[in-house]
Amino acid sequence: MRILVTGAAGFIGYSLSRRLLIEDNQVFGVDNLDGYYNIQLKESRLARLNVHKNFQFKRLDIADRDSMAHLFETQPFDQVVHLAAQAGVRYSIQNPYAYADSNLTGFIHVLEGCRQNNVAHLVYASSSSVYGATYRTPFVAGDNTDHPLSLYAATKKANELMAHAYSHLYQLPTTGLRFFTVYGPWGRPDMAYFRFVDAIVKDRPIHVYNHGRMRRDFTYIDDVVEAVVRVLVRPPQCTNNASAHSSAPYKVYNIGSCNPVDLVNFIEMLEVALGKTAEKIMLPIQPGDVQTTCADVSDLVDDINFKPKTSLSVGIENFVDWYHNHYAARPAA
């Protein structure tokens, strides 16, 4: 298969690209190497992908309409995995235009590229953030998601609506993946677990929001990649089933462990793995944050016979080992 991976220098994009290359697929990666976090980490990921003969890379901004159209016109793709986006709940409050450019304008360019060039399946990143003010847990894919708590969440909800319109109008098979707090080696430095580890190692205090009264459904990167790979080869079909949410070739899955952990307990697990105690600064909840996330993954189990299974303790140990090895002789990103 020849597969386009947008955001190939990002955390999930890099990890997925490596897996696809190992399985002898041809991967064409694009990324704009945005400076939202230190690009040194992105460049290190790319360096590991560039050793593969079946990997091609182009530095490209998905918000650039002409460049995206040229990409699809000149490069035939069987499937597309769209992971490029402006991430971060809190940053969306500070810089909303970045989210409009990347997450909305960029996504329509991907949809048009797929439509105009007969791509067999578009898989794209959504987020658990779309559940917003939904307080019933676990979150079920069919739950109402009309009350986002951040602009980031609103753009991801918009992506799902845009994808459905294209699935309905043009019979383009699309699958949205609502990722739940993805973590692990080569992860994003803006994520809480990464910031906590970095601060504890360097004897800096950590900021604990909502005084630690938060719960998160953590999902290990290898489990996320396994889910994406399985979903990718199973494009949704049109259906006339009255009980289905849509007759279009459209699907949305939760990608989570369905095992939320208290933030305080999570920090304790980091302290054990690092052999150090964190100095904690307790703070109120931040705008846009939700208190609890928990994924119902019954659809994932039913359709692709998979449920994330890596224990949090193992995942944390793997990340801490990677952190020590990667930053042993270089500054933190």
Q: What is the C-alpha separation between 66 and 112, in angstroms, rounded?
A: 12
Question: The tokens of 226 are what?
Answer: 């396994």
Beta strand 79-82 with 121-127 is parallel
Please give the pLDDT value at position 133: 82
Residue with the bigger pLDDT between 219 and 92: it is 219
The answer to whether residue 331 scores a pLDDT higher than 60 is no
For residue 240, what pLDDT band results from cuts at 50, 70 and 90? low
The answer to whether residue 317 scores a pLDDT higher than 90 is yes
The answer to whether residue 192 scores a pLDDT higher than 50 is yes
Average pLDDT over residues 226-237: 97
Average pLDDT over residues 29-43: 94
Question: The tokens of 59 are what?
Answer: 């530095």
Structural domains in the chain, sorted by start: 2-181+219-258+294-309 (3.40.50.720)
Please give the pLDDT value at position 245: 63
Average pLDDT over residues 244-269: 92
Structure-token match 């980490």, residue found = 41
For residue 247, what pLDDT band results from cuts at 50, 70 and 90? confident
Please give the pLDDT value at position 259: 92
118 Ramachandran zone, left/alpha/beta (phi>0; psi -120 to 50): left
Average pLDDT over residues 41-62: 97
When the pLDDT of each residue in the chain is averaged and rounded to a whole number, the result is 94
For residue 332, what pLDDT band results from cuts at 50, 70 and 90? very low
Please give the pLDDT value at position 74: 96
Q: What is the pTM of this model?
A: 0.94
Active-site amino acid positions: 152
Question: The tokens of 252 are what?
Answer: 């949305």
| pLDDT tens per residue across span 1-30 | 999 999 999 999 999 999 999 999 999 999
| pLDDT tens per residue across span 132-173 | 988 888 999 999 999 999 999 999 999 999 999 999 999 999
Q: What is the C-alpha separation between 293 and 325, in angstroms, rounded?
A: 31
Please give the pLDDT value at position 187: 97
User: H/E/C letters for each residue in the chain?
Assistant: CEEEEECCCCHHHHHHHHHHHHCCCEEEEEECCCCCCCHHHHHHHHHHHCCCCCEEEEECCCCCHHHHHHHHHHCCCCEEEECCCCCCCCHHHHCHHHHHHHHHHHHHHHHHHHHHCCCCEEEEEEEHHHHCCCCCCCECCCCCCCCCCCHHHHHHHHHHHHHHHHHHHHCCCEEEEEECCEECCCCCCCCHHHHHHHHHHCCCCEEEEHHHCCEECCEEHHHHHHHHHHHHCCCCCCCCCCCCCCCCCEEEEEECCCCCEEHHHHHHHHHHHHCCCCCEEEECCCCCCCCECCECCHHHHHHHCCCCCCCHHHHHHHHHHHHHHHCCCCCCC
For residue 330, what pLDDT band results from cuts at 50, 70 and 90? low
| pLDDT tens per residue across span 60-84 | 999 999 999 999 999 999 999 999 9
